Amino acid sequence: MAEQEQHHQLALPRFERPVSLLFVVAPYYRDIAYDLIAGATAAVERAGASREIAEVPGALEIPTAVRLAHRQADFDGYVALGCVIRGETTHYETVCNDSSRGLMLLGLDGACIGNAILTVENREQAVVRADPARGDKGGGAAAAALHLIALSRGWADRTRGIGFRAEGGQTR
């Protein structure tokens, strides 16, 4: 069973400047969402960061909310929290694939995102994965966002040469 496997966890990064995260939560399964929030909040607090929460109706709206915040607000990173449980129709595949793809595209565009939109076969799997004392996927997603923020900040002052030398200037 996967919950009994041991996985390596990177230590949370340390920051010299404050870090602000936005948790975008789809509370369709409220109890599961609250466990994800609890795990993510604990990780953020251990890193000395702050967080705000925005709720959206469902997992499909999470990437849009992240995109709006990334364009219009000053958050350093984002944590996507929600749950999709397989039902009797293909809607499950649409929601899982499109929410994941939307977040991946935002990440490739520079947003620092941790993804804990659980995609499970049944409620029992979701409960285990969301529980901060067991699966702690919320905490893992917050840690992922924090690590991406640390990478982004570490590379922010580095620039690439642009392929020519300006008059009187030097290339690196």
- Count how many Cα atoms sit within 13 Å of the Cα of residue 109 in the half-sphere of its side chain: 11
pLDDT of 85 strictly over 80: yes
Strand partners, 120: 85
Per-residue pLDDT tens digits for 99-137: 999 999 999 999 999 999 999 999 999 999 999 999 999
Give all domains of the chain, ordered by start, each with its CATH number. Answer: 19-155 (3.40.50.960)
Cα distances from 61 to residues 49, 121, 136, 159, in angstroms, run: 25, 21, 23, 35
pLDDT of 140 strictly over 70: yes
91 is a catalytic site residue: yes
How far apart CA 103 and CA 116 sit, in angstroms, is 11
pLDDT of 78 strictly over 80: yes
How far apart CA 151 and CA 50 sit, in angstroms, is 18
Write down the catalytic residue from 7, 8, 91, 147.
91
In one-letter notation, the amino acid at residue 17 is: R
pTM of the full structure:
0.89
Per-residue pLDDT tens digits for 20-58: 999 999 999 999 999 999 999 999 999 999 999 999 999
